């Protein structure tokens, strides 16, 4: 396969991916289906009795059902069109919520950004948890993958159980206009053994491949794998074993670059955080040998105070854009408005051609001027950054103590200085991740 | 834990509207993307796909089996695209103008090189473009593409080869 053919393939897929939805199909005004003409053949007259009787029964049943329906049906409420989604916002999101303080009980929520409504929610059964998820990203805002894991060991009282090893993977698809609106189907990806704890997953923009990062502190091992979503087949594995270098964080924050050809990830080696890329088609299986550093930053051991303006000493969740030219990330800063708050975040872009000075894409303010009564200041948690926006959540902690008391979690999606609330619920939740 | 596949139930078998609606949910977007690559126009691509589904709905009773529906739809969409291209008096290159400017999001997603390749693909004759789309977007084999285009395998091979060469030439001329 020549590189020109690869370029054509990538360009066609990229162009096709721009089309995100189709107009609804209306069959009401279409001519009714025509039955195919059947061959005539002589039949004895009594053979018509059975179908004629069946037809009569169907007609009687249809009339009876119609009468019952007319009597029972309530007035049809008018269809209220959904408010438009601002340009650049994904229409749908997926949330992972932890329902109890002890870390047990997780729920996957699929929601509609335009209406703020929950389209579907799935609770994990006892002893299991949804641990990580990814959206397809790019132009596809209605395809997600989520992993489910079984609790390991016997944690002490009040400690969170440990869910390191996904045993099942599920594909969630939003189907606007259908009932149900969300489907959840199990993928054929099998858990490998021995397994490393998963640190991040990401679905390629065309939904065909799943990249999985994993790492484990005791053995100092880490790897990145690529699976086929349709067959579950393990296609590539790159591994590393730390040789004396302190690995503060194992590979994570995955993204796909150049379509489905390159995987980008970040890793902390010593006091530096690096963004690296590894080509899916390149030979070799040693992660740090075959991957290339494209961006790095110094990570201070302690951040003593939030900067007052967009001069963050460190930027979180660095993500390489699909064209491989820019690293996007977000950093907290002290919001000087009313009320002052550390819950604001700045959204930065580091061009790889001039990485010394980031471009501030936007300063995202706290979601509103007033704090809920009796609540402590907001805290912003960034879930994901992309070329089109930042998605994350604000928490309003009650003064009785965030560690044990109820916490109000509000999910927000932000693009530029526009912050849009997705929904709010008082739930004893310790973690909520929002993904698109 | 096993989640049931929540696709529409098969208890409504025989009802064309339910089947066609389910098929529309499953295939309309991918078919519209195929038509978009053929026509270069989103609205026209959606029209072609709608026509294909309405045609399937009208002829539901004549369909040999529901398994044949996706193949029937793809053939209908390709036929619809060929008809739409024949009707055009000008090439399928979007005219320059503010109404055709790409959105910021689209620009962020497509690289400069990809846009140049797409512009070249849009300038290809319809048959060469169709061969490229079937071979490189749908990943069809030469035999499958020949069946879909209703031509010989050799024709697919030569059309694809000429198309790739023409795209390469246009990229060189543009650089």
Q: Across the interface, do A8 and B58 touch by the CB < 8 Å criterion?
A: no
Positions in chain A whose pLDDT score sits under 50: 36-42, 67-86, 155-159, 398-407, 424-433, 436
Rounded distance between C-alpha atoms, residue A88 and residue B105, angstroms: 6
Contact list in B for residue A25 (CB cut-off 8 A) is 20-21, 24, 28, 50, 53-54
> Do A387 and B109 make contact, defined as CB atoms within 8 angstroms?
yes
A256 contacts on B by Cβ (under 8 Å): none
Q: Strand A292-298's sheet: what is its strand order?
A: A247-257, A262-269, A272-279, A292-298
Q: Which residues of A touch B61 (CB under 8 A)?
A: 33-36
Cα–Cα distance for residue pair A325/A336, rounded to 1 Å: 32
Tokens coding A224: 């990145």
Q: What is the pLDDT of residue A211?
A: 92
Of A175, A170, A213, A176, nearest to A195 (Cα)? A213
Enumerate residues 6+ apart whose C-beta is below 8 A from B123: B91, B93, B166, B170
* Number of CB atoms found within 10 A of residue A186's CB: 15
CB A327 within 8 A of CB A318: yes
CA distance, residue A392 to nearest chain B CA (Å): 20
Instruction: For residue B68, give the DSSP letter.
Output: G
Q: What dihedral angle (degrees, nearest 10) is formed by the CA atoms of A145, A151, A155, A159? A: 30
User: Looking at CA atoms only, how far is residue B87 from chain A in angstroms?
Assistant: 23
Cβ of B118 within 8 Å of Cβ of A11? The answer is yes
Report d(CA A345, CA A393) in Å as an integer.
Answer: 11
Return d(Cα A16, Cα B138) in angstroms, integer.
Answer: 11
C-alpha–C-alpha distance, residues A143 and A436, integer Å? 9
Tell me the helix, strand and coil percentages in chain A, rounded to 5: 10, 45, 45
Preferred mutation among B13, B30, B44, B117 to probe A, highest tally of A CBs within 10 A: B117
Instruction: Give the pair of three-digit tokens for residue B97.
Output: 């103008």
3-state secondary structure string across A165-210: CEEEEEEEEECCCCCCCEEEEECCCCCCCCCCCEEEEEECCCCCEE
- H/E stretch holding B83: helix B69-87
If phi > 0 it is left, if psi is from -120 to 50 it is alpha, else beta; for residue A158 that is left
Rounded CA-CA distance A374/A397 in Å is 9
| Whole-number average pLDDT of chain B | 74
Closest residue on chain A to B170 (Cα)? A4
Backbone CA torsion sign across A103, A107, A113, A115: negative
List CB contacts of A311: < 8 A, sequence separation 6 or more. Answer: A333
CA distance B34 to chain A (A): 7
Distance, CA of A221 to CA of A291 (rounded, Å)? 16
Indicate the SS3 state at residue A418: strand
Pick from B3, B53, B61: CB nearest A25 = B53
**Interhelix angle B69-87/B142-149, nearest 10 degrees:** 60
Residue B49 has its nearest CB partner, among A5, A22, A122, at A22
Q: Which residue has the tokens 């959840």?
A: A184
Interchain pair B114, A10: CB under 8 A: yes
Structure tokens at A348: 């930065």
Residue B64: closest C-alpha in chain A: A36
At residue B98, the 3 state secondary structure works out as: helix
First CA to last CA distance, chain B: 55
DSSP per-residue letters across B119-146: HHHHTS-HHHHHHHIIIIIS---HHHHH
Please give the pLDDT value at position A238: 94
Cα dihedral B155→B158→B160→B161 (10° resolution): 170
A355-367 burial, b for 16+ CB within 10 Å, e for fewer? eeebebbbebbbb
Q: What is the pLDDT along chain B (175 residues), one digit of tens a residue?
A: 222 332 223 333 345 777 777 778 778 888 988 999 998 888 888 888 988 888 888 777 776 666 778 888 888 898 888 888 877 654 444 333 333 333 333 444 457 788 889 889 988 888 899 999 998 888 888 888 888 888 888 889 989 999 999 999 998 887 6
Asked if B1 lies within 8 A of A168 by C-beta distance, the reply is yes
Per CB-CB distance under 8 Å, the chain B contacts of A326 are: none
Give dist(CA A92, CA A116) in Å, integer: 9
Q: How far apart are CA A266 and CA A295, in angstroms?
A: 9
Specify the 3-state DSSP secondary structure of B70.
helix
Q: Model ipTM?
A: 0.81
With contacts defined as CB-CB under 8 Å, which chain B residues touch A180? 6
A67 CB contacts (<8 Å, ≥6 apart)? none
CB contact under 8 A, B137 and A322: no
pLDDT given at position A192? 64
What pLDDT is attached to residue A287? Answer: 92
Which of B33, B41, B72, B160 is the best mutation test for A, with the most CBs of A within 10 A?
B33
Residue B113 confidence (pLDDT): 81
Residue A31 has its nearest CB partner, among B6, B58, B167, at B58
CA distance A207 to B164: 26
Cα–Cα distance, A308 to A333 (Å, whole number): 6
Q: What is the pLDDT of residue B104?
A: 38
Dig out the tokens for B13 from the structure: 């078998």
CB environment A385-422: b (16+ within 10 A), e (fewer): bbbbbbbbbbbbbeeeeeeeeebbbbbbbbbeeebbeb
User: With an 8 Å Cβ cutoff, are A175 and B25 in contact?
Assistant: yes
Q: Which residues contact A291 (CB under 8 A, 6 or more apart)?
A: A238, A265, A276, A277, A278
End-to-end CA distance of chain A: 33
Place of tokens 């009401």: A28
């Amino acid at each position: 396969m020549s590189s020109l053919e690869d370029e054509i393939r990538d360009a066609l897929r990229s162009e096709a991916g721009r089309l995100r939805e189709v107009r609804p199909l209306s069959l009401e005004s279409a001519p009714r289906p025509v039955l195919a003409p059947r061959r005539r053949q002589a039949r004895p007259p009594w053979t018509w009795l059975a179908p004629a009787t069946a037809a009569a029964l169907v007609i009687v049943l249809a009339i009876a059902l119609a009468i019952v329906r007319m009597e029972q049906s309530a007035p049809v409420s008018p269809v209220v069109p959904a408010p438009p989604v601002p340009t650049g916002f994904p229409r749908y999101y997926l949330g992972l919520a932890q329902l109890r303080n002890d870390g047990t009980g997780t729920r996957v929520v699929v929601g509609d950004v335009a209406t703020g409504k929950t389209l579907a929610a799935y609770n994990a059964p006892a002893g299991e948890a949804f641990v990580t998820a990814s959206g397809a990203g790019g132009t596809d805002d209605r395809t997600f993958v989520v992993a489910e894991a079984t609790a390991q060991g016997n944690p002490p009282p009040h400690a969170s159980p440990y869910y390191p090893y996904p045993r099942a993977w599920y594909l969630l698809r939003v189907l606007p206009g259908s009932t149900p609106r969300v489907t959840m189907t199990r993928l054929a990806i099998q858990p490998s053994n021995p397994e490393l704890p998963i640190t991040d997953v990401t679905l390629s923009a065309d939904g065909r491949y799943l990249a999985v990062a994993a790492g484990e502190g005791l053995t100092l091992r880490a790897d990145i794998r690529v699976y086929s979503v349709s067959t579950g087949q393990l296609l590539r594995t790159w591994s590393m074993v730390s040789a004396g270098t302190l690995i503060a964080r194992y590979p994570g924050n995955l993204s796909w670059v150049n379509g489905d050809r390159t995987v980008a990830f970040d890793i902390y080696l010593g006091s530096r955080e690096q963004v690296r890329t590894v080509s899916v088609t390149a030979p070799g299986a040693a992660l740090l040998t075959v991957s290339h550093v494209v961006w790095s930053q110094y990570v201070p051991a302690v951040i003593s105070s939030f900067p007052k303006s967009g001069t963050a000493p460190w930027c979180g969740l660095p993500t390489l854009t699909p064209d491989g030219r820019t690293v996007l990330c977000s950093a907290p800063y002290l919001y000087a408005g009313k009320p002052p708050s550390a819950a604001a975040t700045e959204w930065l872009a580091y061009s790889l051609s001039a990485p010394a000075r980031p471009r501030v894409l936007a300063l995202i303010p706290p979601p509103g001027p007033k704090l809920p009564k009796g609540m402590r200041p907001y805290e912003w948690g960034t879930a994901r950054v992309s070329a089109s926006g930042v998605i994350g959540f604000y928490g309003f902690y009650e003064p009785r103590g965030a560690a044990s008391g109820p916490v109000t979690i509000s999910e927000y999606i932000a693009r530029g200085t526009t912050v849009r609330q997705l929904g709010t619920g008082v739930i004893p939740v310790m973690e909520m991740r929002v993904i698109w | 834990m096993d989640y049931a596949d929540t696709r529409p139930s098969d208890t409504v078998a025989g009802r064309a509207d339910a089947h066609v609606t389910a098929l529309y949910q499953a295939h309309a977007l991918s078919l519209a993307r195929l038509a978009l690559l053929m026509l270069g126009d989103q609205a026209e691509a959606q029209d072609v796909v709608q026509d294909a589904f309405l045609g399937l709905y009208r002829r539901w009773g004549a369909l040999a089996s529901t398994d044949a529906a996706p193949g029937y739809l793809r053939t209908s969409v390709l036929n619809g695209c060929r008809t739409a291209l024949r009707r055009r008096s000008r090439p399928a290159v979007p005219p320059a103008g503010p109404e055709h400017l790409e959105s910021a999001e689209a620009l962020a997603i497509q690289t400069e090189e990809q846009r140049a390749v797409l512009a070249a693909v849009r300038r290809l004759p319809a048959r060469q473009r169709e061969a490229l789309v079937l071979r490189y977007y749908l990943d069809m084999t030469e035999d499958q593409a020949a069946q879909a285009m209703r031509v010989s395998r050799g024709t697919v091979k030569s059309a694809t080869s000429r198309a790739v060469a023409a795209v390469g030439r246009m990229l060189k001329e543009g650089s």
